[in-house]
Amino acid sequence: MSYIPHTDAERQQMLAAIGVPTIEDLFDAVPSAYRFPSLSLPEPVGELEVMAELQALAEANDHAGDFALFRGAGAYHHFIPSAVNHILLRGEFYTAYTPYQPEMSQGTLQAIFEFQSMIGALTGMEAANASHYDGATSLAEAVTVALDVGRRKRKKIILSPGIHPDYRAVARTYHQGQGIQFVGDQSPASVDDLAALLDEDTAMLAVAYPNFFGQIERFAGLAEKVHQVGALLVFVANPLALALFKSPGELGADIVVGEGQPLGIPLSFGGPYLGYFACREQYVRRIAGRIVGETVDQDGKRAYVMTLRPREQDIKRDKASSNICTNQGLMALAATVYLALMGKHGLRKAAELCYHKAHYAADQIYLLRGFSVDRSKPFFNEFVVRCPRPVAEINALLLERGIIGGYDLGKDYPHLSNHMLLCVTEMNTRYEIDSLVECLRDVK
């Protein structure tokens, strides 16, 4: 086997040193009736055949390299500078483990510290951790913090229906069996409707920014209302939108979570992505996940180390608030390199391109007979279109012309059947947008 380097001679030398005649003798402790079962697997093959097979599987998919993609709904096709992937492929980064030994992992540790700094800057928060699995689990972990801040006496979690449906589902999965009440998201609700649910039993209220429909809702006065009852205000934010719009910190958020995938991470059929988690400093000792802090070494030289470790499962065991141990280290690195390259000016420009192209598309579709565009609220790079026919039928027509159309909102929101969520990014050219509009014009 190419990945197992042993020669026959070496095997014999090693077995002799151990003092057993065969490798099989090393497994005597395994009950003999169950030892060495047959494995129904294919015959071994080499790199050449593996790659040929995977290429065939990959090419069987309708991907954004071959199609004009207008679908978002939580996963976005954005420009990624080449340098990001080249850095990710540094073996020193991707074949390292969690930086438990700081002297041997300053590279990973400093990169995470820079990630935390950039996430803090984007969200307007004082602290951030090294990441969670994805945006959905970040929200679930925010619930844990809010319950903890509410001393486990407050049992009510208010979720906006504008939060990604999967995220709300994951928060419920994580907190099943704990007597927690999730409210607010079972039917359409405005920010005021959500605020009306606040009471002394509320641990947190979470809103999306922009919401699942791409809209920027108005949050004036919300933070005061939430804080008045002693609850936490949580924002689920698209980090690319934060290059353009006011930071959640400025809007009074206590915790900001979200999906970091728009920051230099490919679509990859839904993962691996990057859950970011930022908060006000007063809550940092209650949050889960790895955190890197700056300190000095014995010679007084600046150094980084995983800190506040006593919160974590390997030390606190059954008293830990979460069982998380790995973060999404390499994805956090991708976002860090991406944000460094895009920088202060590039990120804003990318966000503006998304905004302008989405609004151009929306303006064109607005003019089409049979379609209407929801322009009741400002939006970023996604918008809702009411269609004259079921979304699946329209998408089938678009696909024939090389276009992957919008997301069918009727799947998650029964009152929005025949409504399509269209996404436009800097990757969509005017030609693609015009083609989309032309195709929709042909829908009868």
Partner 1 sequence: MTEPVIYQLGSPGREGVRLPKPDVPITPLPDELLRGELDLPEVSELQAVRHFVNLSQMNHAIDKGFYPLGSCTMKYNPKVNEDAARLPGFAHLHPLTDEDGVQGALALMYQLQEWLAEIAGFAASTLVPAAGAQGELSGILMIRAYHLSKGDTKRTKILVPNSAHGTNPATCTMAGYQVVELPSDANGNVDLAALRAACGDDVAGMMITVPSTLGLFDSQIIEIIHAVHACGGLMYMDGANMNSLLGIVKPGQLGFDVMHYNLHKTFSTPHGGGGPGCGAVACTQTLKPFLPGPIVEIVEEAPSVSANGAGAVNPLNDAPLYGLRMPPQSIGRLKAFWGNFGMHVRAYAYIRAYGTSLREVSRHAVLNANYVRVKLRDQYRLPYDRICAHEFVLEGRFEGVEGVHALDISKRLMDYGMHPPTNYFPLIVREALLIEPTETEDKATLDAFIEAMRKIADEARSDPALLRDAPHTMPIKRVDEVRAAKQLILCCRPVPDWAHQAAGD
Could you say which residues in the range 225-244 bind partner 1, by CB under 8 A? 242-244
CB 78 within 8 A of CB 427: yes
Look at residues 183, 157, 162, 220 and name the one whose alpha carbon lies nearest to residue 409.
162
The answer to whether 251 and 235 have CB atoms below 8 angstroms apart is: yes
Kindly state the smallest distance separating residue 135's Cβ from partner 1, in Å: 6
Q: Please report how close the Cβ of residue 60 comes to partner 1 at its closest, in angstroms.
A: 3
Does 342 interact with partner 1 (rule: CB under 8 A)?
Answer: yes
Question: Which pair of structure tokens corresponds to residue 341?
Answer: 């390259």
Among 68, 114, 154, 231, binds partner 1 (CB under 8 A): 114
Smallest gap from Cβ 243 to partner 1, in A, equals 6
Residue selected from 223, 229, 397, 443 as contacting partner 1 according to rule CB under 8 A:
223
Among 21, 356, 367, 438, binds partner 1 (CB under 8 A): 356
- Give the Å distances, CA to CA, from 196 to 113, 193, 205, 279, 385: 39, 5, 11, 24, 29
Total interface residues for partner 1 by CB under 8 A: 210
Q: Which of 21, 188, 221, 270 binds partner 1 (CB under 8 A)?
A: 270
CB of 368 to partner 1, least distance (A): 17
Give the closest residue to 217 by CA, choosing from 194, 240, 186, 185.
194
The amino acid that residue 310 corresponds to is P
Q: How far is the CB of 13 from partner 1 (least distance, A)?
A: 7
**CA 356 → CA 14, 79, 229, 427, 440, distances in Å?**
67, 16, 39, 12, 20
Using the rule CB under 8 A, which residue among 68, 75, 191, 194 binds partner 1? Answer: 75
Nearest C-alpha neighbor of 254 from the set 166, 163, 143: 143
CA distance 432 to 171: 37
183 C-beta neighbours (distance < 10 Å), count = 14
Among 295, 389, 402, 438, binds partner 1 (CB under 8 A): 295
By rule CB under 8 A, what string of x and - marks binding of each residue 361-400 to partner 1?
Answer: --x--------------x-------------x--x---x-
When asked if residue 94 is in the footprint of partner 1 (CB under 8 A), the reply is: yes
Residue 362 host element (H or E): helix 329-366
The DSSP output letter for 355 is H
Nearest alpha-carbon partner for 74 in 5, 139, 150: 139
Q: Is 77 helix (H, G, I), strand (E, B) or coil?
A: coil
- Work out whether 211 is an interface residue with partner 1 (CB under 8 A): no
Q: Least distance from C-beta 140 to partner 1, angstroms? A: 9
- Output the smallest distance, CB 338 to partner 1, in A: 10
Provide the sign of the torsion angle of the four alpha carbons 108, 114, 118, 123, taken in this order: positive
Q: Which of 286, 313, 375, 418 binds partner 1 (CB under 8 A)?
A: 313
Q: Considering only residues 154-193, where is the footprint of partner 1 by CB under 8 A?
A: 164, 166-167, 169-170, 172-174, 176-178
183/308 with CB nearer partner 1: 308
User: Which range, of 187-195, 299-307, 365-373, 436-444, touches partner 1 by CB under 8 A?
Assistant: 299-307
Residue among 189 and 331 whose Cβ is closer to partner 1? 331
- On whether the CB atoms of residues 256 and 280 are closer than 8 A, the answer is no
Smallest gap, in angstroms, from Cβ of residue 99 to partner 1? 7
Instruction: Report the chain's C-alpha Rg in angstroms.
Output: 25
Q: Any idea of the CA torsion for 235, 239, 240, 243, to the nearest 10 degrees?
A: 80
Q: Quote the least distance from Cβ 432 to partner 1, whole Å.
A: 10
Q: Applying CB under 8 A, which part among 149-157, 197-205, 305-313, 365-373 lies near partner 1?
A: 305-313
Which of residues 3 and 376 has its CB atom nearest to partner 1 in the complex? Answer: 3
Alpha-carbon span 160 to 230, nearest angstrom: 18
Q: Smaller CB distance to partner 1: residue 41 or 414? A: 41
Q: How far apart are CA 421 and CA 417, in angstroms?
A: 11
Using the contact rule CB under 8 A, the part of the chain among 100-108, 185-193, 196-204, 365-373 near partner 1 is: 100-108
Cα dihedral sign, 412-414-417-421: negative
Among 235, 245, 371, 383, binds partner 1 (CB under 8 A): 245
- Which residue in the block uniquely carries the two structure tokens 């804003």? 348
